[in-house]
Amino acid sequence: MKNTALVAFALLAACSSPKEEPPAYRLPPEWEPHEAVWFTYSGTAADTVLDKVVLAMDTATRVVCAADNDSLAATIVMRWDSLGIARTRYRVEVMGEGLYAPAVRDAGPIFLRRRDGSPAVLDPDWNYYGDLENLVGTPAHLLAYEDSFPRMLARRMGLPVVHSDLVIEGGAVEVNGAGVLLQVEAVTMQRNPGWSRDSMEHELKRVLGVRDIIWLKEGPADDMWYLEPRIHGRVFNQGTGGHVDEFCRFVNDSTVLLAWPEDDELADPVHAVARHRMEVNERILQEAGLHVLHAPVPVLEYRGLILDSLKDHHARLLARYPEVQHGDSVRQLHAASYLNLLITNGCVFVPAYWHEGLSEEMRIKDERMRKLLRPLFSGRRIVPIDPRAINRFGGGMHCWTQQQPR
C-alpha cells in the first residue's frame, strides 16, 4: 500500500500493545466532558457573540470569564445580570492588569490530562501568530502578559504547568482522542522557524499525548496570515494563516468535517483557491484512513474598504503592496466558517449567518450545516449563533473560547 492508514494503525497499536505505558499527558477531544468553558472579554462588539453563547449554554457546563481588573469584572457581572444569566452558572477570574487575549484558545491555556487523570496546563511558546518581532501598536508588557497567561492561570488554580518552547496555538491543533493530531503545515512551520519537522513532531507528541500527526497543507483562502493578507487582486483578508479549526474538525475518532466549496461556487477565485487546497487536504486525510464529510462554506460577504495610511493595519498593507495607495478602494473578506464551532457538554454552537432580508442561499447553507451536525451529535442541542462580530477580528467563537476538561 502507498500509505499506512494512521487511524487504523493507532487503534491496532493500542490493542496489540497492552504493556505500553500511556503518554504522560493527553489533550482530550472537545466532545469529552467539560468542567467549564473559558472566555475573555475584549470590550468590543465581539462580546455580544459570547453573551449569546453564555445565554444558551447548557446547565451542565460552567462558564469562567477572565478579566484584567476588578472594574471589568464588575462590568461583566452587571451585563450578565441584565441578560438574566444566573450568577451560579459562571464565575469571573480577575487575572491582573494588562490581560488582552480575546482569542483565549490561541494565547491562553490549553488544558491537559496527566497519566493519572489529573489536570495540567500546557504553557507553549507564544509569538503573536508569528509576528512578535514586527508587531505594530502593541506594548511590550502586553505581549509579555499574553505569553504568561497560561502560567498565571495555572498558579491561580494550583495546577502543574507543562512547558514547551514550541509555538502551539489552540486553534491550530485538533485531536481525535485516539492518538491522532491534525495540524497545518503552513501554520506550524511559519510559527516555528528553526525547528525541523521531526523535532516538531516529537514535541507535539510529548505534550499532547498523540502517536500520529497528520500534516494538512493549507487552510482556506479567506484565512490568510494577516501580514500577507492579499487573496487576489484587490481582495484582502486578515486571519491566522490557516488554523485547522477554520476548515477541518473531528466529530469522532475516525470522521472529520472538511470545508468544501461546491462546483457551482468556483467562479469566485476565493472559492476556487479554497477548493484546490481542500482537495489536497482531503487526499491527505483519506490516505490517513479518515472518513471525510464535506461541510458547506458560508456565502462570501465582501466589504468595501478605503485605505487610510494613518491606520496601523492599512499602513502595513500599503507598505507591502505598493500598487495600492492611500485612499484606494479595496474589498475585504472576514474569516467566516461553519466549522469554527464550539462543542460543550450539551450543545454544539454552530455559526449561522442568515437573517431576515439576506439571501435564500445563505439560509439554505445555514440549515444544511445544522442538518449535517444533528446525527453526528444526536445527544446535544444544535445552537445557531451569528459570529460576524468575531469574524471581523480574524476568527470565530471557537477561537474566543477554551474548554477545560472534567
Q: Averaged over 355-380, what is the pLDDT?
A: 97
The lowest-confidence range among 147-151, 174-178, 271-275 is: 147-151
Whole-prediction pTM value?
0.90
Tell me the CA distances in angstroms from 382 to 58, 117, 358, 369, one per residue in order: 11, 29, 22, 10
Question: To the nearest whole number, what is the mean pLDDT of the chain?
Answer: 89
Residue-wise pLDDT for 167-183, tens only, equals 999 999 999 999 999 99
Rounded to whole angstroms, the Cα distance separating 323 from 383 reads 44
> pLDDT tens digits for 304-316?
989 888 787 788 7
State yes or no: pLDDT of 97 exceeds 50. yes
Rounded to whole angstroms, what are the CA distances from 270 to 79, 136, 275, 320, 353?
39, 28, 9, 21, 18
Question: Average of pLDDT values for 105-134?
Answer: 89
What's the confidence (pLDDT) of residue 100?
A: 56
Q: Which of 140, 109, 146, 141 is nearest to 126 (CA)?
A: 146
> What average pLDDT does this structure show over 157-165?
95
Q: Which of the four pLDDT bands, split at 50, 70 and 90, describes residue 340?
A: very high
Mean pLDDT, to the nearest integer, of 267-281? 97
pLDDT in tens, 58-78: 999 999 998 888 888 999 999
**Looking at residues 378-399, what average pLDDT do you find?**
94
Percent of the chain past pLDDT 70, that is, above it, reads 89
**What cell does 100 get?**
488582552
CB-based contact 209:155 (threshold 8 Å): no
Beta-strand relationship, 342-343 and 329-333: unpaired
Strand duo 180-184 + 212-216: pairing: parallel
How far is Cα 392 from Cα 400, in angstroms, rounded to an integer?
13
Q: What's the CA gap between 266 and 181, in Å, rounded?
A: 30
Per domain, the residue ranges of the chain are 6-405
320-359: buried (b, 16+ CB within 10 Å) or exposed (e) per residue?
Answer: ebeebeeeeebebbbbbbbbbbbbbbbbbbbbbbbeeeee
- C-alpha atoms less than 13 angstroms from C-alpha of 265 in its C-beta half-sphere: 19
Q: Rounded to the nearest 5°, which phi and psi values hold at 356? A: -50, 130
Q: Pick one of 1.10.10.10, 3.40.50.1820, 3.75.10.10, 3.30.1440.10 as the CATH number of 6-405.
A: 3.75.10.10
